[in-house]
């Protein structure tokens, strides 16, 4: 998380503006500081000093007008690029290379969407993020996936309090405010034209395109860290998110897998699985079946979470869990289970799922999963209405099931 290594035009514009301000203020500091130091040394009192007290006169019109003029000049020097940067970062650019129809090879794209950039609706919750892709009909949580080198238009909303979207190396920050929609655009890496301009290259040839593809792959494809940047309650510091930047093909593959969702264990269809579940759930055995059963009944998970494919897991109060086993972190980026090379470490992943279910109130104090108005896992009861939290064995099986959602 740094704003000094920029990976896109928005962050770059913000960085340039920051550096301009730093240099201007640094110049003022040097100038004022040196006059101050000269005055201290030259006019300090010495032993047996019989110099007369310097004139205590009030101001010199020439100096005062000069300083006012210089201040105005410096403010203009900062203000003009600031306004330019505000406009630049506010208006989503119209870049035909970024139109969905230009680069997205997957299925199910409406014709009227072909000439728009990718739109992602970012919705803030205490304390996690939903990312909806309305043009593609998918929703994910906490780890957004975006294509490299393309303009992405974000619509930012909140369901509860004010949050702020900040992806330091790519762009930020814009607030998510309840009752209104803010927008911003992000772009990981330069588009072809801008890249050529920076490299002082010209032309269109396939070699150039290849060079450009190499640039995206080597410098831009990555796993980026984001953070909520507006205090939003007790677990604000634990409201992180991720952006995975990938190539066009990998993006289309990810969308396809999100759309497809999951099947129940044992290669059954959901119809077959529920037929058994409704009549004779004891016939569903094995860790994954047991885990899925807990997901549906004892744990009440399905009341708040969607798992694409499962026709009865339709709750929207919590994060969408489609492919949650493929994410490199859970609990909105707070529990990580990946290596330096952004590869999942399965043991750590299991431990994280277990910890998150077992001690969700410790991992993220105040979160809704623990206390959801009588339905949270911190308030689970048995048939007599007595408190009956999930047992270690139940948490173990539930963790295995969640881990299998890949
Ligand atoms: Cu959301 Cu801080």
Give the Å distances, CA to CA, from 326 to 140, 182, 290, 357.
12, 30, 21, 18
Full strand arrangement of the beta sheet holding 222-228 = 143-147, 240-246, 222-228, 163-167, 171-176
Could you tell me if 194 and 9 are in contact, meaning their C-beta atoms sit under 8 angstroms apart? yes
Question: Quick one: tokens of 328?
Answer: 């490199």
Residue 212's CB is within 10 A of a number of other CB atoms, namely 20
Report the nearest-CA residue for atom 1 of ligand 1.
Answer: 163
d(CA 116, CA 1): 30
What's the pTM value of the predicted model, to 2 decimals? 0.91
Exposure b/e, 371-382, CB count within 10 A at least 16 = b: ebeeebbeebee
Burial (0-12, 13-18, 19+ Cβ within 10 Å), 155: middle
Start-end ranges of CATH 2.60.40.420 in the chain? 98-257
Separation of 236 CA from ligand 1 center, angstroms?
4
Residues of the chain with CATH 1.10.760.10: 261-403
Give the Å distance between the CA of 164 and the centre of ligand 1: 6
Q: What is the DSSP letter of 338?
A: B
Q: How would you write the pLDDT of the chain (406 residues) with one tens digit per residue?
A: 899 999 999 999 999 999 999 999 999 999 999 999 999 998 888 888 888 877 777 778 898 999 899 999 999 999 999 999 999 999 999 999 999 999 998 887 888 888 999 999 999 999 999 999 999 999 999 999 999 999 999 999 999 999 999 999 999 899 999 999 999 999 999 999 999 999 998 888 899 999 999 999 999 999 999 999 999 999 999 999 999 999 999 999 999 999 999 999 999 999 999 999 999 999 999 999 999 999 999 998 999 999 999 999 999 899 999 999 999 999 999 999 999 888 999 999 999 999 999 999 999 999 989 887 767 888 888 888 888 899 999 999 999 999 999 9
Q: Is-contact 267 198, C-beta < 8 A?
A: no
Closest residue by Cα to residue 147 from 136, 163, 156, 158: 136
Distance 57 CA to ligand 1 centre (A): 54
Closest ligand 1 atom, residue 237 Cα: 2
C-alpha 178 to ligand 1 mean position (Å):
13
| 329-330/240-246 β-pairing | unpaired
Span 299-341, pLDDT tens digits: 989 999 999 999 999 998 999 999 999 999 999 999 999 998 8
Q: Quick check: bond before 288 cis, omega within 30?
A: no
* 261-403 under CATH 1.10.760.10, yes or no: yes
Is cis: bond before 173, omega within 30 of 0?
A: yes
| DSSP conformational letter for 169 | T
Cβ atoms of 319 and 141 closer than 8 Å: yes
Alpha-helical runs (H) found in 237-281:
248-260, 270-279
98-257 belongs to which CATH class?
Answer: mainly beta
**Nearest-angstrom CA–CA distance, 363 and 335:** 8
Residue-wise pLDDT for 34-49, tens only, equals 999 999 998 888 888 8
Strand, helix or coil at 267?
helix
pLDDT of residue 287: 95
- DSSP secondary structure code for residue 30 in this structure: H
Output the CA 374–ligand 1 centroid distance in Å. 25
What is the structure's pLDDT at 305? 95
Q: For residue 161, give the ligand 1 atom closest to its CA.
A: 1
CA dist., res. 160 & res. 123, Å (int): 10
Report the alpha-carbon angle 325-327-330, nearest 5.
Answer: 90
Q: Which residues line ligand 1 (CB under 6 A)?
A: 124, 127, 163, 228, 230-232, 236, 239
Number of the ligand 1 atom closest to the C-alpha atom of 163: 1
């Amino acid at each position: 998380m740094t704003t000094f290594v920029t990976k896109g035009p928005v962050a770059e514009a913000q960085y340039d503006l920051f550096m301009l301000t730093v240099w201007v203020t640094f110049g003022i500091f040097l100038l004022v500081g040196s006059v101050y130091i000269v005055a201290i040394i030259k006019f300090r009192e010495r032993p047996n000093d019989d110099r007369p007290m310097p004139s205590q006169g009030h101001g010199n019109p020439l100096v005062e007008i000069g300083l006012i003029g210089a201040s105005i000049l410096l403010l203009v020097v900062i203000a003009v690029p600031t306004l330019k940067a505000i406009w630049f970062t506010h208006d989503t650019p119209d870049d035909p290379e970024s139109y969905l129809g230009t680069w997205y090879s997957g299925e199910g794209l409406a014709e009227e969407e072909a000439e728009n950039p990718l739109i992602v609706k970012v919705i803030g919750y205490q304390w996690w993020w939903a990312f909806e892709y309305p043009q593609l009909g998918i929703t994910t949580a906490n780890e957004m996936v975006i294509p490299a080198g393309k303009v992405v238009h974000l619509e930012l909303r909140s369901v509860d309090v004010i949050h702020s979207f900040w992806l330091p190396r790519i762009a930020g920050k814009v607030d998510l405010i309840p009752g209104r929609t803010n927008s911003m655009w992000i772009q990981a890496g330069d588009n072809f034209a801008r890249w050529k301009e920076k490299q002082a290259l010209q032309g269109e040839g396939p070699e150039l395109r290849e060079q450009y593809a190499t640039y995206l792959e080597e410098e831009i494809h990555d796993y980026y860290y984001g953070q909520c940047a507006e205090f939003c309650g007790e677990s604000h510091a634990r409201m992180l998110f991720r952006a995975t930047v990938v190539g066009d093909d990998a993006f289309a593959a990810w969308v396809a897998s999100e759309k497809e969702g999951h099947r129940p264990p044992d290669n059954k269809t959901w119809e077959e699985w529920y037929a058994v579940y409704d009549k004779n759930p004891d016939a569903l055995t094995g860790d994954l079946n047991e885990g899925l059963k807990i997901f549906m009944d004892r744990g009440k998970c399905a009341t708040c979470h969607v798992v694409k494919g499962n026709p009865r897991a339709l709750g929207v109060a919590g994060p969408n869990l489609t492919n949650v086993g493929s994410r490199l972190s859970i609990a909105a980026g707070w529990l990580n289970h990946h290596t330096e090379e952004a590869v999942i470490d399965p043991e750590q992943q299991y431990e994280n799922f277990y910890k998150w279910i077992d001690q969700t109130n410790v991992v993220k104090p105040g979160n809704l999963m623990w206390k959801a108005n009588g339905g949270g896992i911190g308030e689970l009861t048995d048939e007599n209405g007595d408190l009956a939290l999930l047992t270690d064995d139940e948490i173990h099986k539930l963790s295995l099931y969640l881990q299998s959602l890949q």
